[in-house]
A and B are shown apart, each in its own frame.
Chain A
Amino acid sequence: MNLVRNHVLISIDAGTIMAGARAVEKALVDEINRQGLAGEIAVLETGSIGATGQGVVIVVYPEGLYYANVTPEDASEIVEEHLLKGRPVKRLIMTEMPRQQVIRKEKTGLLKEQARIVLRNSGVINPENIDEYIAEGGYEGIERAFTELKPAGVIKEIKDSGLVGRGGAAFTTAMKWDFASKAPGDPKYIICNADEGEPGTFKDRLILEGDPHKLIEGMMLAGYAVGAAKGFIYIRGEYALSIERLEKAITQARLYGLLGENILESGFSFDLAVMKGAGAYVCGEETALIESLEGKRGHPRNKPPYPVTEGLWGKPTVVNNVETLANVPEIIRNGAAWYRGYGTDKCPGTKVYTIIGNVATPGLIEAEMGTTLRDIIYEYAGGIKEGKKFKGALVGGAAGAFMGPEMLDAKMDFVNLKEYAAVLGSGAILVMDESTDIVGMLQSVLHFFKHESCGHCVPCRLGTKQLVEIVDRIAGGKGKVEDIESLVKISEVMRDTSFCPLGQSLNLPISSSLKYFRDEVYGRVQQPA
């Protein structure tokens, strides 16, 4: 075994590849070799570290020093100055630090470092090496499940942890598993919904690219708990790197006997397949996803029957989101009580947020349930860009709710937000500064939904079309007061009668925009004489 003095982690994701990460990596390796440091310094690829827009990012361990906007030309300076002489290259040190690794412990008011749950390994380990995952306690969860918990114990542990699905619908995970485990039918299936299509969300991508084994272990645990031998990862077609890394990870897991027949002599067999989506937002809805997985158009099915009793090929099926499954190995490894140490009583754990829009540092953060919107924006995302004023945020994705300044101190969790008729959804937070045009925002949201409506039911297919025509009219200055009333009326009918959540949820951005920005919207239409 080599005694490595320094690790240089290079963040490889779609953004950094674009910025030339591969060239930087090559330059670093070449320079290290040239300086004869090959045995002492290891260059490792890691997933996204959650900071965007900072070019090629590298981290040097053990110091944990971040460099940003690194170019191939900088390689010799970094190697010679920092790695050889121990003098950090000041001009390259990242100034806008990603704050994701900081998790706030509300009870003590202290900032607790390295307490991430879902993103614990992302950006830290080499996602293409199973050993690194194992070194971080990976696959200990499944071992504990096999030796100590058994399937019923896994479900109980998840139940005690209070984990709810992170995909948007906020359904209790243990209940889903319990239903599926008790449902008659064989075989049973586990599906991971990795068709991350919510505009402004790329949290799943970070997990997939940065820590694919965590997802694999989560799916194994789900399979073990409900008695499924086969899992499918339905992944967004555009996530090329995620697909590549997942497939690599699956191959490695098979090689280690962690996937396949009779895993670790437990008698439990489980295997995974990756299925590429083909671009349809509605396939985020679990029954539409199942239709798509069966090779069909992604039209949602009627519920009931729910997938837990009649899912893929009519068999009991659990569909969980990436983030949900990524919580599972940590819960099983550390226990429900440990998990409940994070978040609130009703909503334990953390939430991964994608913060975009007019903030100083857009990116991904993981924060405890119950963190306020204010903290997320000002503590983690560096506040509003260019010192402008906060106007509002669209929280929960395109079909989420707008929140005005009066909601800044609302505690963000599934239960609490419900009281404000808002949703956590997928955890997308689009922050708007004072210059943002609210009608323009609505226009974008409504156009998106018209484009992504599957066309099956009348309210969604024709409602979105009318909504788009009306909002375009308002944006073009030709709207009337009645047009605003029509927006509300149509979206209410869609909420009440749409076949699936896609159409049902559009009322939320419309009603919330009027709740917080009523005057602005009414100011945009022709005033009655």
Chain B
Amino acid sequence: MSQEKQCQCAEVQEEELYPRLEEVIMEHRGKGQDLIMVLHKAQNLFGYLPKKAQEMVAEGLNVSLNEVYGVITFYNFFSTVPQGRNSVKVCLGTACYVRGSQEVLDKAQKELGIKVGGTTEDRRYSLDVVRCIGACGLAPAMLVNEDVYGRVKSPHLPDILAKYE
């Protein structure tokens, strides 16, 4: 299957999600204080926060677009670029850093051929760093989606990644 075809497919799916976002927004209409909550829900839907979704949230919650954008770019959790199907996050918290997580991260970048914050072309993986996931006892730790991997050494990486389609 060609890349192009895949992309169109993703876009079509995205279009279908907007009515659902509208439903979410309805529950919080005019409530600017719920912005972060609504953005969480929107990101759950799309996997990231497309421009159009940001505009809808701004209008629906009656906050300026700038405020929405300012909030999105402030918090680590929110992303404005499409995410891969699997989110790989390497912990760079102190405990993990000291136990060699930088090496794990370097290996992950090499293995996936992307930089931190990037998504692989086939949208299979996104790579990011986190600063402590509260699993310091397992340092160095990494997350793939909801799964926590502890005591990760760089040679483990290919096996871990291969588990996720």
Nearest A residue to B68 by beta-carbon distance? A295
Query: A53 to chain B: which residues have CB within 8 Å?
Result: 137-138, 150-151
- Which B residues from 110 to 127 make CB contacts under 8 A with A? none
On whether the beta carbons of B137 and A280 are closer than 8 Å, the reply is: no
Per-residue CB contact flags for chain B residues 26-69 toward chain A (1 = under 8 Å, else 0) read 00000011111101100000000000000000000001000100
Q: Please judge, given known A-B contacts A276-B36, A278-B78, whether A14 and B131 are in contact too, CB under 8 Å.
A: no
A451 to B132, CA, bound (A): 12
In the complex, are the beta carbons of B95 and A199 less than 8 A apart?
yes
Complex CA distance for A298 and B74, rounded to whole angstroms? 8
A199 near B77 with CB under 8 A, answer no
Report yes or no: A18 in contact with B151, Cβ–Cβ below 8 A.
Answer: no
Q: Could you give, for residues 273-316 of chain A, a 1 whenever the CB lies within 8 Å of some chain B CB and a 0 otherwise?
A: 00111111100000000001111111000000000000000000
Pairwise interchain contact B98-A436, C-beta atoms closer than 8 A: yes
A-B contact pairs, 30 of them (CB 8 A): A14-B133, A17-B148, A18-B150, A52-B150, A199-B94, A200-B93, A200-B95, A201-B134, A201-B136, A202-B134, A202-B136, A205-B134, A237-B40, A240-B146, A279-B75, A280-B74, A280-B75, A280-B76, A293-B33, A295-B34, A295-B35, A298-B74, A357-B98, A363-B137, A430-B95, A440-B97, A441-B98, A448-B94, A448-B131, A451-B131
- A526 an interface residue at 8 Å Cβ cutoff? no
Top 9 nearest A-B pairs by Cβ distance?
A: A52-B137, A279-B76, A278-B75, A295-B35, A199-B93, A202-B134, A444-B97, A199-B132, A279-B77
A445 touches B (CB below 8 Å): yes
B contact residues, total (Cβ < 8 Å): 39
The residue that B147 contacts in the complex, of A18, A199, A432, with Cβ under 8 A, is A18
Give CA–CA (A413, B135) in the complex, Å.
Answer: 25
Closest to A202 in B: B134
Would you call A200 and B136 a contact (CB within 8 A)? Answer: yes
Instruction: Please tell me if the beta carbons of A362 and B75 are within 8 angstroms of each other in the complex.
Output: no
With most chain B CB atoms within 10 A of its CB, the pick from A197, A205, A356, A452 is: A356
Tell me the residues in window 394-432 of chain A with beta carbons closer than 8 Å to chain B beta carbons. Answer: 394, 398, 430, 432
Using known A-B contacts A278-B78, A279-B75, determine if residue A15 contacts B150 with beta carbons closer than 8 Å.
yes
Contact B149 A18 (CB under 8 A): yes
Residues of chain A with a CB closer than 8 A to B78's CB: 278
Chain A residues with Cβ below 8 Å from B32 are 295
Q: Is the CB of B136 within 8 A of A295?
A: no
Residues of A within 8 A of B74 (CB): 280, 297-298, 454
Contact between A14 and B134, CB atoms less than 8 A apart: yes
Chain B hits for A356, CB < 8 A: 95, 136-137, 139
Asked if B24 CB lies within 8 Å of chain A CBs, one says no
Q: Which residues of B contact A296 (CB under 8 A)?
A: 35, 67, 71
A236 to B93, CA, bound (A): 15
The residue in chain B whose Cβ has the minimal distance to the Cβ of A239 is B134
Q: How far is the CA of A131 from the CA of B93 in the complex (A)?
A: 37
The residue on B at minimum CB distance from A361 is B137
B94 pairs with A398, CB closer than 8 A: yes
Residues of A within 8 Å of B134, CB to CB, are: 14, 196, 201-202, 205, 236, 238-239
A232-244 near B? 1/0 per residue, CB < 8 Å: 0000111110000
Judged by a CB distance under 8 angstroms, whether B155 is at the interface is no
Please give 6 more A-B residue pairs, beta carbons under 8 A apart, in addition to A52-B137, A281-B131, A448-B92: A15-B148, A53-B138, A201-B136, A238-B130, A436-B98, A447-B97
**Per a CB cutoff under 8 Å, which of A205, A239, A452, A454 touches B131?**
A452
B19 interface contact, C-beta 8 A: no
Q: Which chain B residue has the least Cβ–Cβ distance from A48?
A: B137
Query: CB distance B76 to A278 under 8 Å?
Result: yes
Contact B131 A295 (CB under 8 A): no
Among A198, A295, A356, A445, max chain B CB count under 10 A is at: A295
Residues of chain A lying within 8 A (CB to CB) of residue B98: 357, 430, 432, 436, 440-441, 444
Asked whether A430 lies within 8 Å of B131 as measured between CB atoms, the reply is no
Interface mask (B126-164 → A, CB under 8 Å = 1, otherwise 0): 000011111111110000001111110000000000000
Interface flags for B66-94 (1: CB within 8 Å of A; 0: not) read 01001100111110000000000000111
Do B137 and A295 touch (CB < 8 A)? no
Task: Find the B residue at minimum CB distance from A359.
Answer: B137
Partner of A276, one of B37, B137, B138, B151: B37
Cα of A432 to Cα of B137 in the assembled complex, Å: 14
For A196, list chain B residues within 8 Å (CB). 134
A292 CB contacts on chain B under 8 angstroms = 36
CA distance A128 to B63 in the complex (A): 38
Given contacts A279-B76, A280-B75, A440-B98, contact A198 B147 (CB under 8 A): no
Cα of A448 to Cα of B91 in the assembled complex, Å? 11
Chain A residues with Cβ below 8 Å from B139 are 356
User: A430 to B94, Cβ gap below 8 A?
Assistant: yes
Docked Cα-Cα span, A357 to B100, in Å, equals 12
